[in-house]
Every structure is written in C-alpha cells, then in structure tokens.
Structure 1
Amino acid sequence: MSLPRIALLLLLPSLAAQAAEYRVGPGQTYATIGAVPWESLNPGDTVLIHARPTPYAEKWVLGRRGTATAPITVRGVKDAAGNLPVIVGENATTRSQLNYWGEERGILKIGGSNTPADTTPAYLVVENLHLRRARGAFTGRNGASTYAKNAAAIFIEKGEHITLRNCVLEDSGNGLFIANATSDVTVEGNSIHGNGNPDSILEHNAYTEALGITYQYNRFGPLCAGCLGNNLKDRSAGTVIRYNWIEGGNRQLDLVETSSDTLRGDASYARTFVHGNVLLEPAGAGNRQVVHFGGDNGTTATYRGTLYFFHNTVVSTRTDRTTLLRLSTNAQTAHVQGNVVLVTAAGNTLSLTDEAGTLRHGLNWYKPGYVSSFGTVTGSVVDTGGNVTGGDPGFVNLAGQDFRLTAGSALRGKVTAPLSGTEAHPVTWQYVKHTTSERRAQAAPAHIGAYGDPLAPGAEVPDAETPDAAPSGSGEEGGCDATGGGFAGPLALLLLAALAARRGRRAH
C-alpha cells in the first residue's frame, strides 16, 4: 500500500471522531440557530437548518476554519413543499456567547470576531438558506441596535476558500457584500434580488472586492423599487462572471478598481472574464450602459486593464438608446467576441461603447444600423471582422425570455475561432432557468451567444475550466458541500466513507 494511502487511513479515524453534526429546527436537537455552538465549530462540522413555517429571526458570525477536505458547512434543509429555511434580520437576536464587531452590517457575517477568537475563516460552505431583510432593529451584544443602510444578507469581512451556494439573498441594503481581505470565493446557483435602498446609488444586489471570485449559475433579479444601485458591482482581482442571468439595475455589471494594494499587485487583476451570461436591460431602467469597466474613484492609475467579454446574450427592451459598454479611460481595452446584442428598438439605438478606451469586436450579432458611439470616440473601436447583422437572431421565444436557439437561428456556426486570451475559459456550460446549468455541446464553428445546443446524453466533453462544477440545486442533506482541493479515485471513496460515518454522529 502506498504511503499517501496509509497516511489517509491513519487520518480518517481521527477526523471521524472529531466532526459533529448540529441539527436545527422543529423536532431537531436544537430549536434555534443561536443554540448552535458557532464559536467552537471544527473542520468537517455540519450545521443543518431545517425549514419551518415561521422564519428564524436570528443572526450570527462564522469565524472558524475548516480544511480543503473537511470544510465547515452550514446547509439549509427544505421542507416537504421544497421551501428553504427563511432567516430574517429584522428583530433578530444573536447567541449570547458570540462576540463580534460589525453586527450592524449583516445577518450572516463571516470573519471579524472576539468570540470565536479572531482569525481568517477558511473552507466554509453556506448553502440552501433564504436570508432577507437586514433592515430595521435587532438585538446584539450591546442590546437594541439598528442595521446600517449598507447592511447585507451575507457580509464577508474576511476569509478564504468560501462557497456560497443555492441561497436566496433579498430585501437588504446589499444582498451580498465582500470586503477585500477575502480570497478564493465561489458564488453559485443563488437568487439575489430586491436589494438596495430607494433613491441611493451606493447599495447593490452584490458588492464585492476579493482576490479571486467566480460568479456562476446565479440569477440576479431587479433591485427593489426606486433603488438606484447596480446589479453586480465588483472591485476584485481574478474576477470570472460566467453563466449567470443578470436582469435590471442601474447597470447590469459595474466592474471597477480595487482599493487594495494586495489585489492590485496580483497578476490576476490585469484581466477580467465575462462569458456565457444573459444580460437584460429593461425598458425604463437607469443607466443606458449595460457594462461599465475600469474605475470610478478618479485615480486612473489604479483602474482595471483588460476585459474579455464573449459568448454573452444581451437583450435590451429600452425604447430609447442602449450602450453596450463604457470604458472609463483610454487605458482600458475590451475584447468583445461571439456575443448577440439585441435591441428591440431600431438598430441605430445601439452603440457599442461610450467614448474612451479600445474596443475590439468581431463575430458578434447586431441589428443593422448600430453605431460605435453616440458621442465622439476618444479611444478607438476596431472591427476585427466576422460580425453579423440581421433583424431576428432566432431565439426560441423572445417575449418569453427563452433565448435558446431555433434550428434555423442566424447565430449558429458563426464563431470561427475562440477569442485569443481566453483559452483557460472554454464555454462548456450554459445557464438554465433558473439558477442551474447544463453542459453545452461544442460546435465548430461555435454558435454566437450564451446558448448552444445541450450536450447529448453520454457525449464526451473537453476539459472544462476550473472550478466548473454545476451546483447541485439540492436542499437535501446529501448536497455537494466541498470546496477547494481533494483526493482522487480510491482515496476519494475512502474519504467520502469517513465523512458519511462522522455525519452519522449527532452533536448533543
């Protein structure tokens, strides 16, 4: 037997003895979320919060460290009707043994506490929870308190190797807020909508700044009524936004500079990847720009550099003008390829860019009459060839928001080569309404837009980008709950057996 296998076999009994399972809800060991000893969770521990007819009005902090092979998992368990457990921030209370700062910033906070002792939380999975209404009053360590206007359903102050999966985040100042002491975050399969504050441009459905963040398979819906923020605002390094549905907001994407020297100094800050998304610009929405890229603080030397925008489906139902992309200065470059950009108004109501920066575009589909800019181009717009124009892209049902392709779609077989610089990001998946995905069959030439044909059962697929596992969509206890590295083959089977054994032990 090999030494790695012997080492793993020696390790497994220790892991099995240490991990615990905490069950919360009607008929479970713990009646409330606050009864769980959050301050003493260990690697491999799992907290299962069961749905119940009335919401949990509780809030807490995660400040412990799991490991790559034994993450700490907080998982909601659906009821018989398929409902997630609902956790409301308004009038919420906190477990008395927890002592953490920034209570006014979120319902679930990750990082930044006295009890548990302050550390960088790591290898955490939060899934299948419905968190809403970080607004109004709550009771914390200092008694009665009030949420800040920018409070979030989930607020991550710091942490590493964190997965947020299959959650609903709504009716808060920010749905998700991540500060820049955070790294390696995956946000997948969530529904994030109805956040923001009326008449304010400062709060968003998601507002994030991390070293390495991937958004995939999420549904971003409109913000709350009268709320002026963006849908997804990001200041990260190593940003990948793929296979999402993003509808509404002042802008669908606002991708601007970081305030962190650490993030700015990382090589991944130089390039941002946006692909396979559905971006919807509704009539009467705020800014006519769908995407803003670069920066917004005026210190142009800190702005982002290059955007790769490919195989997206962009639909605007505005009756006035639509601008696909605004680059902040002439130092920004956008490579735009393989996208379908449909305006339901006349073709001349679409401009590709605002004024500044370099936009290189080819192998896209537009209505005829589109323009480079509605103003004076101070940068440059370069047509790299192969763009297609027409009156109808050939969606299955435009009015019904079914943007899959008909058999005769004009988008089929038009992308003759991948976009240079995106080799590590093959478009191998596609979004499925809502918050899930399916494999995309690989065609040569490829189809324009976020949709190709689904992969036939049993067909082989090329190596996919990493990480690229689709969310389970499961509210059951057996859903996928690991993030980061692991073991392969027989070692994985041994590890899974140990995990199953230790989960059979309930905490009391």
Structure 2
Amino acid sequence: MVSLACSVLVLSACGDDGSGSDEIGESDTQGEAGTGTDSESGTDTGTDSETGTDSESDTESETDTESETDTGTGGDPPEGDPCAPTEWDEADFVDVYDVGPGQPYEDPSAVPWESVGPGTLVRIHWRDEPYRDKWVINSVGTEDAPIVVTGVPEGGQLPVISGDGAKTRAELDYWNEQRGLIKIGGASAPSGDAAAWIHIENLDLREAHEDHGFTDANGSPQTYAGNAAALYVEWGSELTFRGNEVSWSGNGIFTGSQSADVHVECNYVHDNGTSGSIYEHNSYTESARITFEFNHYGPPCPSCPGNNLKDRSAGTVVRYNWIEAGNRQLDLVESDHQELVDMPEYATTQVYGNVLVEPDGAGNSQIIHYGGDLGDESYYRKGTLYLHHNTIVSTRQGNTTWMRLSSNGESCEARNNVVYTTAGPGALAISDGSGAVEMASNYLMEGWVPTHGQLEGSVDDMGNTLGSDPGFEDVDGQLFTPDEGSPLVDGGEALPGGAVAPTWEYVPHQAGTPREDEGAPDVGAFSG
C-alpha cells in the first residue's frame, strides 16, 4: 500500500489586563456532563454540552480522543510536499467503491458501510450539488490494508458532504447519530469493538449543527445535538484526517478518550462552534497520542466564543500549523480519564513551528492555556510544555498574555519564539501568574512584564532579544518570514533536552517546506 505522505461570541469577561477570571471554556469536558466547580473561573452550573447520552449505555464512549503515534520524539513526514494528495492505487485494494455522477454508486448512502473491511477504497467524486449523507465506519483495517474514504476533487473543488438534510443508510445501526456527520467507531451494524486504520481525505465536511436536521437510519427526522461534529470519533485507533475542509458544525473535529494514534494534517478548519456557547470549538480532542500538523485553523464562526484548538490528550504534538483567532488559539488542558492521565506521554506536550495570530477583539487575551480547567488539580497536566520556534502575532489594542499555566505544577520551556504585539511597550505579559516559565533566545517586545496580574509562580529570563520590530517581511500582509537584516536570523540557540528541533515550516496555506537554518537557529516559525 502507499504510505502516508505525512507522519503523522459571549465574549471573554477578561479585561485587557489579561488577568481576569475569564476561563471560558474551562469546564467544557468531553466526558460526563460537567457539574463540578471550575476552579479557574468560578462555578459552572451548565451541563457539559460536549457530552451526550449513549443510547447503547456506553455513556463515555463519545469522549474518545485523538491519538497519534508521534509523541514529539521524531516521526516527521518524508521529503517532498507534506500535503501532496495521497496517491492511492486501486490495485492495492480488495474492494473499490466509486461514488458520484456516472459512477456505480449514486451517493455515499449507496455504499455498503455495514460490510466494508480491510483493503477498502471509497472514492467520492465531485459534483455540483452537495452530497447529503451521513454514515459510520466501525471496521478494522490494517497498516497494509487500510480503509480509505477520499474525495476526488474537480478544478480544486472538494466534494461537499453536508449534514443539512443528510440521510443515513437504512442498513446501518449506530447510536449517537445526532453527534456527527461522519462517525468513527461505536455501532451495532457494523458491529465490532473499535475501528482502526481509517483515512478520511479530501472532503468538504460541513453543517453538522443543531440548526440543521437529518433523517436517521429508521427514516425518522432528527436534529443534530449542540455538540455535533463534522468528524466525530467515538472509538478507534490509527486514524488519519487529511486534506479536508471542516466547517459550520458544532465542533469541527471531535475525538473521545477511547481513540488513539490520531493524525490531523493539512486540513482547513474554520467557522465551527455555536453562537453564545463556550462549549464547542474548531476542534476538540482527547486521545492517546495525537499530532496536528500543516493545518490551517481559521476563526470560529461569528459570535462563537469557543477556542480554536482545544485538546485534552496524552502525547499532544502541535507543529507547523497556522492558528488564527478563537477565544484562545491553543487550549491544552486536562483529561478526566485516568487511563490517559497515567500515560507517560501525558506530562509532555510539544508545540513548535506554529503561527499563532491574535486579532483585536478575538476573546481571551491569553494566546495559550496549559494545564487544566475542570477544578480537580490532580488531573492537571502537571508537566512541561515545550514551546519553541513559534511565531506569535497579536494586533490587540490592549494587553496580550502569552500563556496561562493553570497551577504551579505546570512549567513551560520557551525557546526561539518571536512574540510580537502592536499595542506598544508594556502590553505584553509572559504569564498569567502561575507556573514556572523558563525562556531563552526569544524575541520579545520591549517593556514586556512578567504578568499583568499577581505573580505566584516564576518567569525566569535566561537571556532574550528585546525590540519593537522583529523584521517581518510584511506584517499587514501576514508575511512573517524574517526580512533581510531581521534580528530573528541566527538569533536562536540549541534546544534543551526533551524539545524537538523543527525540520519543516508552514507554507500558507496547508502546505510545508523543509526548514533550512544556516548557522545558528533562526527565531520563530520561519527560517530567514
């Protein structure tokens, strides 16, 4: 088989000092309905809309999370364009289903999903009108014989799968139909304990949202749950979501705690969420090992106060992505599932080579949150956030806080990042007050302060470059590559043990190129 081409708004109440108690989204858990006290934001009396009742009495299976075999110790994609479409050869498959105009199968509901097995290739060809179909994949492929569902674009346009008015094939029987457009794992027909080695590629997935309805497998009209997702993983491993556009759903991509080794790569995820709700996000994941790379995360939907990328996984790697807007760009908080908390990978999170953009008025003034938000600190990550070679740009008119560490049990090693704010001296704070931050060889704005609030943890300045202009090629045009003479060039240092040096850099949008540092490492997500 051909191998993977990659390894893989109720607005914030926080004032512009960045120190307010606005931990919105903190209590949105993927597990049971949240009724506990959010120790970081006060009492959350609402029901956790991320959860749902499993009609098959599997009450936690929809909390499965994304997983990824790369735990930050290697596993970079091979040479070449990391987002080039995968070349699947039909001769390598046992069963091939072609869907669309002039094809043997009119629409996805004609595919016998209840009987697909290892070595299945489903090709959905582009057509003028969206396909209005929804389905479950609950079959186990293998590395050499995966189950692949891929779109066949035309003129650069991906085939559209819309949840609005979608129908479910009558031969399927699965619970939580209201939770997703495409569901992975968790069904009676096809039956089985889990799904594995599944690829979903090159599809435009949209409108799995409570504003829309669908027809279930029994032919009855239904409405999507508030926390529905375009890609909804209940149970599965070795899952790859690649080259898709995911939009206008409650959650764009959702994985629950019974998922493992998930790869989210080269997707465009945008305009997901629910107006006025803090509980839905562009993506919301809780897996045993997950990697996000070469994705373009655009803003959530208008007036939607959720986060952009929210994750509760063990072994999280976020690298080479463009993440713009949201209540926070990155919300990396705790799992409430002991099996994930007990994993060695739980205490190590790698975030490198990303572009994080904070526009004015985008919600919380904090860019990154790491630790926990459900109130029981025994579940918090209590580990190290390795934060290096990222480019952070904030155009907020008021203050910006680079990171919030939830407690003094969390730490961050920040190296070779550029943090640029347009609001002037004193607008940039490093920490929200808790946790231990060690930072060296970053480019920071002149006049930065340790915190805009009360410093209960520590901010250790180990030598950083200060200035007012990092020498980007074109800030207004969002060209953040170092220009000639930029202080970012050769301004970095070798990374400490535990951190992973970037070998790629993001190319706007949904592309990448090998990173070439000549001499000392360049600061930020881009080499000079």
- Classify the TM-score, shorter chain: 0.7 to 0.9
Residue deviations 1:148-198, cap 9 Å, x none?
001001000010000000001100100000000000000000000000011
Give the distance between the partners of 1:26 and 1:18, measured in 2 at CA: 22
Matched, 1:309 2:387: yes
1:137 is aligned to 213
2:514 is aligned to 439
Give the distance between the partners of 1:311 and 1:249, measured in 2 at CA: 21
2:161 is aligned to 87
Matched, 1:339 2:414: no
Give the distance between the partners of 2:430 and 2:250, measured in 1 at CA: 31
1:40 is aligned to 115
2:82 is aligned to none
SS in structure 2 of the partner of residue 114 of structure 1 = coil
Instruction: Give the 5 Å matches for 1:313-332.
Output: 313-332=391-410
Instruction: Give the 5 Å matches for 1:256-275.
Output: 256-275=333-352
Give the distance between the partners of 2:126 and 2:429, measured in 1 at CA: 47
Which of 300, 308, 311 is the aligned partner of 2:377?
300
Matched, 1:74 2:149: yes
Residue deviations 1:459-479, cap 9 Å, x none?
xxxxxxxxxxxxxxxxxxxxx
Matched, 1:250 2:310: no
Residue deviations 1:281-303, cap 9 Å, x none?
00011000000100001100110
The alignment's C-alpha RMSD in Å is 1.2
Which amino acid is 1:308 matched to? Y
Give the distance between the partners of 2:459 and 2:485, measured in 1 at CA: 31
Q: CA deviation at 1:71?
A: 0.9
Q: Verify the 8 A CA contact 1:394 1:409 in the aligned structure 2.
A: yes
Q: Verify the 8 A CA contact 2:505 2:514 in the aligned structure 1.
A: yes
1:375 is aligned to 453
Give the distance between the partners of 2:515 and 2:313, measured in 1 at CA: 28
Instruction: Give the 5 Å matches for 1:183-194.
Output: 183-194=260-271
Q: CA deviation at 1:306?
A: 1.3
Which of 234, 239, 242 is the aligned partner of 2:316?
239
SS in structure 2 of the partner of residue 417 of structure 1 = coil
Which of 101, 104, 112 is the aligned partner of 1:26?
101
Q: Verify the 8 A CA contact 2:171 2:217 in the aligned structure 1.
A: no
Q: Verify the 8 A CA contact 1:416 1:444 in the aligned structure 2.
A: no
Q: Verify the 8 A CA contact 1:347 1:366 in the aligned structure 2.
A: no
When residues 35 and 340 of structure 1 are mapped into structure 2, their CA distance, relative to the original with a 3 A threshold, is same
Instruction: Give the 5 Å matches for 1:274-289.
Output: 274-289=351-366
Q: CA deviation at 1:118?
A: 2.5
**Larger RCO: 1 or 2 (CA < 8 Å, sep 6+):** 2
Q: CA deviation at 1:16?
A: 6.7
Matched, 1:198 2:272: no
SS in structure 1 of the partner of residue 450 of structure 2 = coil
Which amino acid is 1:417 matched to? A
Which amino acid is 2:216 matched to? G
Which amino acid is 2:110 matched to? A
SS in structure 2 of the partner of residue 320 of structure 1 = coil
Give the distance between the partners of 1:369 and 1:416, measured in 2 at CA: 23
SS in structure 2 of the partner of residue 262 of structure 1 = helix
Q: Verify the 8 A CA contact 2:368 2:402 in the aligned structure 1.
A: yes
Q: CA deviation at 1:345?
A: 1.2
With the length of structure 1 as denominator, give the TM-score of the two structures: 0.84
Which of 114, 129, 148 is the aligned partner of 1:54?
129
Which amino acid is 2:432 matched to? D
Q: Verify the 8 A CA contact 1:18 1:42 in the aligned structure 2.
A: no
Q: CA deviation at 1:444?
A: 2.8
SS in structure 1 of the partner of residue 345 of structure 2 = helix
Give the distance between the partners of 2:256 and 2:138, measured in 1 at CA: 15
Give the distance between the partners of 1:39 and 1:87, measured in 2 at CA: 19
1:169 is aligned to 246
Which amino acid is 1:292 matched to? H
Q: CA deviation at 1:17?
A: 9.2
Q: Which of the two has higher C-alpha Rg?
A: 1
2:44 is aligned to none
Matched, 1:100 2:174: yes
SS in structure 2 of the partner of residue 29 of structure 1 = coil
Q: Verify the 8 A CA contact 2:323 2:354 in the aligned structure 1.
A: yes
When residues 208 and 390 of structure 1 are mapped into structure 2, their CA distance, relative to the original with a 3 A threshold, is same
* Structure in which a larger fraction of residues adopt helix: 1
Which amino acid is 1:97 matched to? E
2:187 is aligned to 113
Where in structure 1 are there 5+ consecutive unaligned residues?
1-14, 454-508
SS in structure 2 of the partner of residue 347 of structure 1 = coil
When residues 16 and 243 of structure 1 are mapped into structure 2, their CA distance, relative to the original with a 3 A threshold, is closer
SS in structure 1 of the partner of residue 200 of structure 2 = strand
Q: Verify the 8 A CA contact 1:107 1:155 in the aligned structure 2.
A: yes
Give the distance between the partners of 1:25 and 1:17, measured in 2 at CA: 22
Which amino acid is 2:187 matched to? S
Q: CA deviation at 1:18?
A: 6.9
2:18 is aligned to none
Which of 286, 294, 297 is the aligned partner of 1:220?
297
1:473 is aligned to none
Which of 187, 198, 212 is the aligned partner of 1:124?
198
Residue deviations 1:299-335, cap 9 Å, x none?
0011012101100000000000000000101110011
Q: Verify the 8 A CA contact 2:92 2:119 in the aligned structure 1.
A: no
When residues 31 and 174 of structure 1 are mapped into structure 2, their CA distance, relative to the original with a 3 A threshold, is same
SS in structure 2 of the partner of residue 100 of structure 1 = coil
Which of 128, 138, 141 is the aligned partner of 1:63?
138
Residue deviations 1:115-144, cap 9 Å, x none?
001321000111000000012210002411
Matched, 1:211 2:288: yes
Q: CA deviation at 1:436?
A: 0.9
Count of aligned residue pairs for this structure pair: 435
With the length of structure 2 as denominator, give the TM-score of the two structures: 0.81
When residues 58 and 391 of structure 1 are mapped into structure 2, their CA distance, relative to the original with a 3 A threshold, is same
Give the distance between the partners of 2:92 and 2:282, measured in 1 at CA: 41
Q: CA deviation at 1:70?
A: 1.4
2:17 is aligned to none
Residue deviations 1:360-410, cap 9 Å, x none?
11100012100000111001111122x001121111111000111112111
SS in structure 1 of the partner of residue 128 of structure 2 = coil
Which of 431, 436, 440 is the aligned partner of 1:353?
431
Residue deviations 1:5-54, cap 9 Å, x none?
xxxxxxxxxx9797111000001111110111111112121000001000
Matched, 1:154 2:212: no
Q: Verify the 8 A CA contact 1:292 1:326 in the aligned structure 2.
A: yes
Instruction: Give the 5 Å matches for 1:465-480.
Output: none
